[in-house]
Structure 1
Amino acid sequence: MRKNRFPLNENEPIKWQVLKQLWPYLLEFKGRVALALLCLVAAKLASIGLPYVLKYTVDSLNGDVEALAIAVPISLIIAYGALRLTNVLLGEVRDTLFGRVTERAMRRLGLKVFNHLHNLDLGFHLNRRTGGLSRDIERGTNGVSFLMRFMVFNIVPTLLEIGLVVILLLIQFGWSFAMIIVVSVISYVMFSMKATDWRTRFVQQMNEADSTTNSRAVDSLLNFETVKYFNNERFEANRYDTDLAGWEKARRKNRLSLFALNGGQASIIALAMTAMMANAAYGVMEGEMTIGDFVLINAFTMQIFMPLNFLGFVYREIRGSLANIQNLFSLLSQKPAIEDKPNATHLSAKQASIRFSNVQFHYQQARPILKGISFEVPSGAKIAVVGESGAGKSTIMKLLFRFYDPTEGGIFINGQDIRELSQHSLRSHIGIVPQDTVLFNTSLVENIRYGNPDASDEEVTHAIKLAHLTQFVESLPDGLDTTVGERGLKLSGGEKQRVAIARALLKGAPIMIFDEATSSLDSQSEQAILGALRDAAKGHTSLVIAHRLSTIVDADTILVLSKGMIAEHGTHETLLAQQGIYNRLWATQQRDSNHEEMGQ
């Protein structure tokens, strides 16, 4: 079973290679990126200039009182305000410019993952956890935004500012001030990284608990009817609460570890600030420094440690963002089991014939499903496939759609091996009415039009008429605008299958597959729709997978599957005369039908 979860491991190195994979998404707006970086550098220069303006202002105010009116440099005060405003405005312009780049990268990456997931094979989607996968995608795309915002506008500018400040302190005030800053910053960074790496396990546990809880809730709500059928509301609530308890425990551990991280960071900052202020105060007392210098050093120290105060959070989030983005790229790196060949042919035909040639297939090596199936469906013919549950009837449909490829043998449409055709063109030639009809939580007309989004209103109305949906639509207060509910929950089984029939007819494909298409209909509706389907199927190649034998008595050929092989084939009358499997199935269903009528 393939997994679609990529858990974080605190022992793994940071995935910096993700930046290379993101780079193409950022180059779409090269000019914006360059201008944003220019604003970033200008803002930092203005930020470094602020403490100097403050120093000269304080020194001027600390001068001769009689000359105060002249000494107070109003221009410096104005310059201080102008620099602070410039710093803020440059930051806003930078964020606005780069915001477009980040949002476009999120959009491109999100769309690419969405399309890729639709291109992955059925096996992947049968094994996936919908809720957990959706959280992976959400965290990955949000990780792009966080990474760009904090990596480009927090970490890099802070390192640039620290470097400039250390150089200025070394030149102007000597090695002691520069050394305190260097040692403090290195200690702070090392402690934050080590503590954050230690905390990662708790963050990972919290994310896993969050995904598990979300998956449990989504799975339970999607199966709402099943829960009600078996009175298992309390059972589902207990399972959900168990997951929530795990989430609560993980959150508590995460919170306590955060306290340890923040406490250590605060201690380092406090020691650094104390050392810098004591050193500056000594310099003032010795007459080597002015009060303005004291204010300058205090401002520089606070200015450096303020952004570093969030380093643990930013480092963890950047690490997590890189891992979450890598999860998306890991999804993108998964190769579908079914892929088009480089020179795949585009199928284009108004009529189609189908041929299965010695088709063998298994989902698991030890359990073969089809064992050398061979049959042909001439263009315009109607072939029915019947047999006991597990005989391989629905597998034939999945192979024809090329959800899987045969283990041995081949499937041909108009003499072309479907493995040589593009999947899109192949599936565009096949319409299907599935046994389990799943509808989108939109209006009735949108669900019908899904068979052909470009169909006209007249074509939709015609399909509704053929599916005998007209009377039902007219009985609804909102008509075709009625919302069907999630997975069509507001419609009965028969109503959902009529919608599916209308949707398949609207597609207008030359090949029609009916997989137990009338299994949820009452006998009267069934016969009415069967008549409509017979008319609609004229000129189409039809493959009917049936349980009710009464629905396929008019088939040109009936294939009886047994243990993965064709045990019998022929018309309804021919098979009855053979007194074999089909005859026994027919007799059993007729007897059951008579019992039902007598019971009524």
Structure 2
Amino acid sequence: MINKHPLLRSLAIYREMPWRFSLTAALFVAVNLGLIWQQWLIGHALNDVNAGRAVVRLDDGGFDASLAWHWLWLIVGVALARGVVQYAAGVLALVLSQELLTRLRERILAQVQGLHLGYHWQHGMGEMITRTTRDADKVRDALINFWRQVLDTPLVVLAAVGLLSWYHPLLGLVPLLLTLVGLSIFVLQTEHLVTLDRAVGAAYDRVNQDLSEGISGVRVIKSFALEQRRIDSFASQVTLFTGHARQALAYASSRIPLPQVVVALSHVWILVFGAHLVSQGQLNIGELVASLLIVTTLVFRIEGIGRVMQTFADARSSAERIWQLLDEQPAIRSATASLPATPLGLRLEQVTVKAAGAGRAILQGCDLTLQPGEIVALVGATGTGKSLLASLLPRLVDVSDGRVLLGSHASGWQDVRDLQLDPLRQRVHVVPQESFLFSDTLAANLRLGAPQASDAQLLEALRMAAASDVLERLPQGLDTPLGDKGVTLSGGQRQRLNLARALLAGPDILCLDDATSALDAISERQVLDNIRDLPHSHGRVTTLLVISSKLSTILLADRVLVLDGGQIADSGSHDELLQRNPHYRDLLGIEHG
């Protein structure tokens, strides 16, 4: 849905800064009143000069120039005062616009973080980056011009037309009509510019997406020698973007002169009709000169609108795209209920989850129960929804039907949709197969879930995740920066650090979604032995759900669940399933003896 008045909605953020906005507006009013007053003074000074009153010859042969000096110092004083006020107004306008831009970007980031995973799956990273950078910058450019072109210009028009009308009604009426015609042409042309800039913005999205994929996937690109193909692909996207931008620029450049010519006719009218009034004795020379100065200011200001017409058109399109993002309603919202402080178990009751937009059920009528402190393994073929099931636990995804419950028989069961999100996600963690580390120090990455953890606790978490050797190889220890996404580490090292981060947070329910897939046999054995002791270590009870297809991982479980056809098709110990379930044997690649 297209937003109504998106640029005005962006400008409405100024309401959050009422005093600074009012002060800036008052300064701009003062600047424009000073300009008109200055031009009025020049006209009166010229009248005194023309009438011979500015400099008078005295009887003794000297000259009395006191009136001339009076006009000179008055005009210079007004000009200097205007300069100071204009400087202050300009600085405040820039500061205020930057503050608005900061608030807008903060809202974009908060919205991006708050939107559900389904939205992120449907919209690429390039689109998010474009809205936060290019689109926000376009809006900022309009905000900077807002004061001059939206607030300043109407004041100039009103003051100029008012003073001209004071000299003679027709002197003000005709320039006013010509100005309104010129502005109308500008507005009509802007509509088409907005359409052109939408195409420019969409092309820029694709450029950003292609660039981010080229950087993130550099290893794959190099592995398959795809460098030239990626360069060609990126060049084609840039060419497409450039073509759209050139088309928008060409349209603006070819259309701006017409309304400027219309407004510039005010000069002709003032000169012709003003000369007529002078000849009739209804206007003096000083007032004619003042009128020409006033209309010159008016013409230049309206022409300035033409120069920033594309800026406003771009900003309107960009603001529209920003508010499309900000108006998106998060599908997952925090509720009010709290979890009990007692150990947590997990229950799924007839859970159904459908693929976004497709309507096909990935999980259908799925039931399972994990008691507090239990270790359960979940196995299933690729694409059966194991990771989707894991995403249900911290409520990264919501069910289409059924319920996901946390609690126990003793404390009762609560639907995750009734719970506060932050406490829920602090007590339920999922460690995915794809490891992600921020470009910060090792200590900062580990403390994400436990900001107050001591160095001793960090070392213990690394030991539990069999990652002590990773620490030993880092030159600055815990203070070593890991680089973008931990690029300096191997896949197995990143997995162990992600596991250490989750263990340090001390969740009540921990789900490992193939979180040891990149580990060598020795590291995996160490991790599994530590995990086997985890449920009752350090005085807490931890419930473990382990998603894996590796026999070594499955063997640590008390129970094994088989996911097939979107349902829990079988449940039992490893030995029991090995004996009775051929599908389970196929999943593990074990021949039935």
- TM-score, length-scaled by structure 2: 0.89
Per the alignment, residue 594 of structure 1 pairs with none
Tell me whether 1:393 sits opposite 2:386 in the alignment: yes
Match of 1:294 among 278, 288, 291: 288
Give how far 1:391 is off: 2.2
CA distance in structure 2 between the aligned counterparts of 1:246 and 1:454, rounded to whole angstroms: 50
Structure 2 gap ranges (5+): 58-62, 408-412
Per the alignment, residue 145 of structure 2 pairs with 150
Deviations 1:532-554 (A, max 9, x none): 22233433100000021221212
Per the alignment, residue 60 of structure 2 pairs with none
Deviations 1:416-450 (A, max 9, x none): 22222222222111123210112212222222222
Q: 1:41-120 alignment to 2 at 5 Å?
A: 41-62=29-50, 64=52, 67=57, 69-70=64-65, 73-97=68-92, 99=94, 101-120=96-115
Verify the 8 A CA contact 1:132 1:215 in the aligned structure 2. yes
Give how far 1:382 is off: 0.3
Q: In structure 1, what residue type is equivalent to 2:360?
A: R
Match of 1:464 among 462, 487, 498: 462
Per the alignment, residue 421 of structure 1 pairs with 419
Verify the 8 A CA contact 1:381 1:542 in the aligned structure 2. yes
Deviations 1:300-354 (A, max 9, x none): 111112221121344553454345334433323322222334xx31124351111
Pair 1:108–1:202, CA change in 2 (3 A): closer
Alignment size in residue pairs:
576
Match of 1:171 among 161, 166, 169: 166
Deviations 1:480-536 (A, max 9, x none): 333323222221100110110111111111111111111101112211222222233
Match of 1:36 among 24, 41, 54: 24
Tell me whether 1:360 sits opposite 2:352 in the alignment: yes
Helix, strand or coil at the partner of 2:65: helix
Match of 2:262 among 268, 272, 293: 268
Verify the 8 A CA contact 1:371 1:564 in the aligned structure 2. yes
Give how far 1:400 is off: 1.6
Helix, strand or coil at the partner of 2:355: strand
CA distance in structure 2 between the aligned counterparts of 1:393 and 1:571, rounded to whole angstroms: 19
Q: In structure 2, what residue type is equivalent to 1:27?
A: R
224-233 vs 519-528, which moves further = 224-233
Per the alignment, residue 438 of structure 1 pairs with 436
Per the alignment, residue 511 of structure 1 pairs with 509
Match of 1:134 among 125, 129, 132: 129
Match of 1:340 among 334, 339, 351: 334
Verify the 8 A CA contact 1:383 1:559 in the aligned structure 2. yes
Pair 1:199–1:517, CA change in 2 (3 A): closer
Verify the 8 A CA contact 2:394 2:424 in the aligned structure 1. yes
Percent identical residues = 26
CA distance in structure 1 between the aligned counterparts of 2:374 and 2:483, rounded to whole angstroms: 37
Give how far 1:253 is off: 1.7
Verify the 8 A CA contact 1:359 1:373 in the aligned structure 2. yes
Tell me whether 1:408 sits opposite 2:408 in the alignment: no
Match of 2:271 among 257, 270, 277: 277
Deviations 1:137-174 (A, max 9, x none): 345544654454433443233222222322322232x2
Helix, strand or coil at the partner of 1:73: helix
Helix, strand or coil at the partner of 1:390: coil
Verify the 8 A CA contact 1:371 1:565 in the aligned structure 2. yes
- TM-score, length-scaled by structure 1: 0.88
Give how far 1:290 is off: 4.2
Give how far 1:109 is off: 3.5
Deviations 1:253-272 (A, max 9, x none): 22322221232244335433
- Give the root-mean-square deviation of aligned CA atoms: 2.8
Pair 1:463–1:39, CA change in 2 (3 A): same
Verify the 8 A CA contact 1:386 1:559 in the aligned structure 2. yes
Give how far 1:383 is off: 0.1
Per the alignment, residue 343 of structure 2 pairs with 351
Pair 1:86–1:245, CA change in 2 (3 A): same
Verify the 8 A CA contact 1:512 1:537 in the aligned structure 2. no
Verify the 8 A CA contact 2:197 2:313 in the aligned structure 1. no
Structure 1 gap ranges (5+): 1-5, 9-14, 592-600
Pair 1:516–1:315, CA change in 2 (3 A): same
Verify the 8 A CA contact 1:51 1:300 in the aligned structure 2. yes
Give how far 1:200 is off: 3.2
331-340 vs 123-132, which moves further = 331-340
Per the alignment, residue 541 of structure 1 pairs with 543
Match of 2:187 among 179, 186, 193: 193
Deviations 1:259-310 (A, max 9, x none): 2123224433543323323444455566664443332122111111222112
Q: In structure 1, what residue type is equivalent to 2:40?
A: Y
Helix, strand or coil at the partner of 1:514: strand
Pair 1:256–1:141, CA change in 2 (3 A): closer
Helix, strand or coil at the partner of 2:256: helix
Per the alignment, residue 249 of structure 2 pairs with 255
Q: In structure 2, what residue type is equivalent to 1:541?
A: T
Pair 1:589–1:263, CA change in 2 (3 A): farther
Deviations 1:105-144 (A, max 9, x none): 4333432332232222111111112222222234554465
Pair 1:561–1:208, CA change in 2 (3 A): closer
Tell me whether 1:244 sits opposite 2:238 in the alignment: yes
Pair 1:28–1:249, CA change in 2 (3 A): closer
CA distance in structure 2 between the aligned counterparts of 1:51 and 1:122, rounded to whole angstroms: 61
Verify the 8 A CA contact 1:63 1:71 in the aligned structure 2. no
CA distance in structure 1 between the aligned counterparts of 2:570 and 2:282, rounded to whole angstroms: 107
Helix, strand or coil at the partner of 1:214: helix
Helix, strand or coil at the partner of 2:332: coil
Give how far 1:84 is off: 1.4
Helix, strand or coil at the partner of 2:46: helix
Pair 1:318–1:429, CA change in 2 (3 A): same
Per the alignment, residue 410 of structure 2 pairs with none
Verify the 8 A CA contact 1:546 1:552 in the aligned structure 2. yes
Verify the 8 A CA contact 1:44 1:161 in the aligned structure 2. yes
Q: In structure 2, what residue type is equivalent to 1:82?
A: G
